[in-house]
Structure 1
C-alpha cells in the first residue's frame, strides 16, 4: 500500500513535504512481501481504473436540429456517463491526474471527442421553441446537462494548462511544456474547438479563454508556429468551398456533406463550414492580437475579400434557386457579417499600432472586390478611420488616402439600392415567426445581390424591355427600365400602363426618357482597379489585361519581320529565291518505265526542227555564205555539190517508208530519220573537222601536213579564213546564238 497516500485528498500536503516538482517527486511503496520501492509521481502505476472512459455523442442531429425521442434519450445516457468521467478526473490528485492524461489514452480521447462534437456557441438550443410542453421540458433538461458537461471539460483543459495548483502540487515549466506538446494533450485544433464551444456570449467566457490560450502560448512557443500553419489553411479552405459551390455542393469536391444527408439545400454544409471559419478567426484575433502580423504575411485579408466577392454571391444565388426559405441564407448573412468583423479587427489593430502604410496598401488591394468594398463601407465608413491614420502617421501621402476614400465611396454610390440582406433575412424570419432574429439581423446593414424572380431565375431586363417595346414602341427605354424596377415582370408593367394605374412619380415621368448604358471603362475599372483609355480595353486585343492577346505586339518602328530601313528593303531577294525555286521545278522530269511498247523520247527535241521544209541550222547556213563570200571560185562548185546532195538525197534508198494513211499522226522517229538523212546528204561533206596527216584533206581543213613538209595552198587559205572570221563563230558570237534560241521559242 501507499505510505503517503494523497490520491483522494488534494489538500493533504504530507505527501510532498519538500514541495518537489512533479518530475522529481517519488512515492515509497511497500509490497505484500514487505519490500519497499520508490515509484515516480508521474507513472503508469497510478492508472488503476479498469473501465475505459466513454465517448461523447453530439446533441445536434444535423445542421442545427436537436435530437428528439430515442436519440435524445441515448444522448442523455452518454452525457451522464461523460459527466461522471470528468468528475472522476477532476477529483484526482495532481500526480494521478497527469498520469491518467499521459498514460490513459481514453481519458484524453474523451475530452477531445467532446470538444469536436460540442454545439457551436452561435447555434445553441433556445428555450421556448419546442412544439409541445414535453418537448420543451426535455430540451431544457438537455441544455442544463450539456452546460454542466461543458463546464467540466473547460475545467479539465484549464487544469492541463495550469502549472501550479498548490505549494506542494506543481510542475516545472520545462516539464509542463514537454508534457503538453509531446503528448498532444493540447493542440491548435483542440484550441479552435474549445473557442467555438465556449464563444464570447459572456465576458467571463472570453476571460477564461484568454487565460487558457495565454498559458499555453507562454509555456510552449511552438504553438505560435502551429497557429501560423493553421491560418495558412484558410486559403485552402476558401478554395475548397469555391470548388464545392461550383460542383453544386457535391461530396468529394474538397469536402462536402454526404449525398444522403438530411439537408434543406446541397450547400448547407458549405455555409456552416464558412461560418465556423469566420467565427473562429474573429475569436482568435480577440484573444491574440499579435496574429495580425501573421495575417499580413499570409495576405489573409485579401483572400477573405476575394472569397466574399466571388464565392459568396454564387453561393447565395444557388441556395436561393433551390429553396428561398432555407436557413442557410440566414447563416450566410451571419458569415458575411463575421468576415467583415474579422477585417475590421485587423484594421483596428493596425491603426492602434500606427501601421498606416500597411493599412492603406491593404485597403487599396481590396478595391477590386466590389461586393466586399460596398458592404464594408456601409458597415464601417472609412472617413473617420483615415483621419485617425493621418493624425498618427503624417508621413503617408494625402493622395493615397484620397484615392482609397474616393474608391470606397464611389463603389457604395454605384451600388443599386435594392433589397438589403437584413431585410431579406427579416422577411424570411417573419415567415417563420422568428421576431427575435428579425431584430438581430436588422442591426447589420449588409448589401445583398440582385433578387431573382419568384421562379428562382435572375431577371433579364434587356429581354423585358424588348417585350414592352413590342407592345408600346413609343416609350423610351429609360422610362421602361424605371417602370420594370417597380414590377416583377414585363406583363405587369404593360398592364399598369394600359390601365393608367402608375405610381405618382412614374405617372409624372417623361415617357420618352432615354437610357444611357454604363461606360464599359467604369465596369473594367471596378473589376481591375485600373482605368484605361484604349478602344480595345477588356476585349481580346487588350494587352494590359490578357496574357496572350490575339494581336501582334509591336515594339519599336515597323512591324515584326518587316525591313527596318530602305537599304534592307532593296536588299531583299526573297522574291528571286521564290522564282528560282519555281523554275527548278520545271527542270525535274518524271521518268516512268515503258509500258505496252510506248514511244520513249530519249532527248529534248525542242532544239531541232520536226517538220519537213525546216530551214537548216543557222551555223551551217552562215558557214556556207561566208565561204561563198570569201572564195567566189568555189561558189559554182558548192552549188553543184548542193544539187548533187539533193539529187542523191531524193534518190536514196534509205529514206523511210511514207506515212501510213491509217495512222492518226506520223511517227516522230520516221520524221527525224528522214530529216537527218536529208541534212547529212546536203551538208555532211561541208562539215568542219580535220583529218590526220597523210589522208585526203577536205576543203575546210586547216590541219594540213606535218610540220616541215610544206602546206598546200588550200590549207593556208583555210587557215587565213579561220583567223579572219573566228570572231563570228563558236563561243565568240553569243548574240547570234541567243537570237536563234529565241526564234525557236526557248526562253532563258
Structure 2
C-alpha cells in the first residue's frame, strides 16, 4: 500500500472522515514495514528483487512525505505526528538495510553483487537518493552519508546517472527562469511549443507562483544536503560547471521572484501566505548559497586538505579552477554580495595564498641555475655585486623578477638594505674551506658546550655572569650562623625515617636492686 499525504482544507482543518481514513492507511503501512524488516536476510532481498510493490511504498513515502520546511504542520496533531514518525523511522531502517552487504557471519553478500542488485533492478536510483537526502539528510546525516558512500563505491555506474541528473536539474532551472521571463534558452531550437505559453509565460497566478516557489526550494534544499554529504558528487557537478549555472539563476531569477511575491501576494487578505512564501524564498537563497559553497569549496579543500595525495600539477589545477569560477562570478553583484556575507572570500584567498607560498618554497638553488639567476639581475642592474644579488635571491625565494622589482621600487627588506650592494660572491668551494679553516683555528676544550655561540643559536644568558657574583651571605659570620641547610637535611631524613631522637629521660628500671655501680662493673 502506497503512502499518500494527508489532505486538508485551506484553513488547515481536515474534511470529515479523511483523518480517520489516513490513520487507518498509516497503520497498515506500519504493520507491513515491521513484518518486512523482521524477514531473514535472504527473504528480505527476495522480496525486494522479485516483488516490485515493496519498493513502491518506500518510493511513495520518499516523494510525498513532508520535508523539513513543512513538517512542523504535522506536530500540531499528536495522533498524526506519532504514526507519521513511526513510519518515518521504519522506512529509514529499510533504506539502511538496502545499503548493507554484511549483516552477520551467515547473512552477507559481496559488495559487487549488492551493487548489481541495486542498480540493475532499479531498487535505488539517483532520484531516490536525492529524495532520501531531503527527507533524512538533516536528522541522520552520518547514516545517509554512509549509505550514499557505499552505493557509489559498490556501483560506479551511478556516477553516469548522476551526470544525466545534473543536466536535467540545469534544464529545470532554465524552465523556471523562462517562466519568470529571464531566459531565452529555456527551450532548444527545433522544440515544438505552444504559442500561448510563450505569450503568457510571465502571467502567473498565486497558485502557480506558490508551486514554483516550493519547487525551487525543494531543488535548492535537496542539492545543498546532497552535496554537503557526498564529496564525489561535488566533483561531478563541478565538472559540468553547475555552479556557474546556479549563479546566473540566483542573479536573474531570485530577485524577480521577490518582485512577483510583492506584486501577487502582498495583499491584505493574503498576508499569512505572503509571510510563508517570503520565508520559503529566504530559505531558498541560503540553500543555494550552501550549494555553491559545497561545489566551490571542494576545489579549495582538495588544494588544502588533500595536499599530500595530489601532485603539484593537480593542486595547481584545483587552485586555477577555484579562481576561474570566482572571477566568473564577480560580475554577478547580487549573488556575490550575499555569498561574501555568509562565506567571506578574503578568508579563502588567504588560505590559498598560504598554500601557494608553502608549495612554492624552494630549499636552495646552486650551480648553473644560480649563475643564471644572478645574470638575469645583473643584466638590468649591472652595478650590483654577485654576493649581494645572491643574498637577495635567497630572501625572495630565488625569484629574479621579485628581486628586480624590489630594487627598482626601493622596497628591499631592512635586512637586505643594510648590506653592501657591491658585496662579492664567495664560491661554494672557498666558502666551505673557509668554514673548515675557521673551525680548526678556534678549536678548544669548550667547543660544543652549552655556551658555544658558534654551534648554538640559543644560549641561556641567565647562567652567564660577568664580574664577582654577590652571594646571599654578606660576610663569614653570617655564613657560619646560617643553619638553614641543617633544617632542610633534618626534614629530608625525617621523611626517610633515619633520625634517631635522643631520649634523655632518667631510666629507673633497676633502682630496686641494691647494687653499686662499682660492683656492677666488676667481672664475675
Matched, 1:341 2:290: yes
Q: Shift of the alpha carbon at 1:196?
A: 1.1
Counterpart of 1:206? 141
Counterpart of 1:602? none
Q: Shift of the alpha carbon at 1:290?
A: 2.2
Q: Shift of the alpha carbon at 1:285?
A: 1.5
Matched, 1:78 2:41: no
- Choose from 373, 379, 384 the match for 2:347: 384
Aligned runs of 1:186-201 on 2, under 5 Å? 186-200=124-138
Aligned runs of 1:285-434 on 2, under 5 Å? 285-324=227-266, 325=271, 326=274, 327-354=276-303, 355-394=318-357
Asked whether the 8 Å contact 1:60–1:119 carries over to 2, the reply is: no
SS in 1 for 2:89: helix
Q: How has the CA–CA distance of structure 1 residues 66 and 338 changed in structure 2, closer, same or farther, with 3 Å as cutoff? A: farther
Give the TM-score of the pair, scaled to structure 2. Answer: 0.58
Q: Deviations over 1:52-86 (max 9, x none)?
A: xx111013659996856533222212111111111
Q: Shift of the alpha carbon at 1:271?
A: 1.0
Q: Which has the higher contact order (CA 8 A, sep 6+)?
A: 2
Counterpart of 2:482? none
Q: Deviations over 1:641-680 (max 9, x none)?
A: xxxxxxxxxxxxxxxxxxxxxxxxxxxxxxxxxxxxxxxx
CA distance in 1, matches of 2:123, 2:10: 29
The runs of 5 or more residues in structure 1 that have no matched partner are 1-53, 129-135, 398-748
Counterpart of 1:218? 153
Counterpart of 1:99? 46
Q: Shift of the alpha carbon at 1:234?
A: 2.0
Q: Shift of the alpha carbon at 1:265?
A: 4.4
Aligned runs of 1:701-720 on 2, under 5 Å? none
Aligned length: 326
Counterpart of 1:170? 108
CA distance in 1, matches of 2:230, 2:237: 12
CA distance in 1, matches of 2:257, 2:248: 14
CA distance in 2, matches of 1:149, 1:191: 18
Q: How has the CA–CA distance of structure 1 residues 147 and 317 changed in structure 2, closer, same or farther, with 3 Å as cutoff? A: same
Q: Shift of the alpha carbon at 1:151?
A: 0.8
Counterpart of 1:113? 60
Cα root mean square deviation, aligned: 3.1
Q: Shift of the alpha carbon at 1:353?
A: 1.5
Q: Deviations over 1:214-270 (max 9, x none)?
A: 2211211111221222122221011111122239xxx9969xxxx9x9x85431111
Counterpart of 1:678? none
CA distance in 2, matches of 1:323, 1:396: 55
CA distance in 1, matches of 2:255, 2:355: 37
CA distance in 1, matches of 2:325, 2:164: 22
Q: Shift of the alpha carbon at 1:296?
A: 2.1
Q: Deviations over 1:121-150 (max 9, x none)?
A: 22212577xxxxxxx4xx112111111101
Counterpart of 1:238? 173
SS in 1 for 2:39: coil
CA distance in 2, matches of 1:267, 1:318: 8
CA distance in 2, matches of 1:288, 1:243: 30
CA distance in 2, matches of 1:338, 1:214: 22
SS in 2 for 1:246: coil
Q: Shift of the alpha carbon at 1:172?
A: 2.5
Aligned runs of 1:521-670 on 2, under 5 Å? none
The runs of 5 or more residues in structure 2 that have no matched partner are 183-193, 304-317, 361-524
Asked whether the 8 Å contact 1:356–1:396 carries over to 2, the reply is: no
Asked whether the 8 Å contact 1:305–1:366 carries over to 2, the reply is: yes
SS in 2 for 1:267: helix
Give the TM-score of the pair, scaled to structure 1. Answer: 0.41
Q: Deviations over 1:361-393 (max 9, x none)?
A: 111111222211121122222222211111112
Counterpart of 1:629? none
CA distance in 2, matches of 1:293, 1:99: 35
Counterpart of 2:306? none
Asked whether the 8 Å contact 2:235–2:295 carries over to 1, the reply is: no
Higher share of residues assigned helix: 2
Asked whether the 8 Å contact 1:192–1:280 carries over to 2, the reply is: yes
* Max Rg structure: 1
Asked whether the 8 Å contact 1:271–1:331 carries over to 2, the reply is: yes
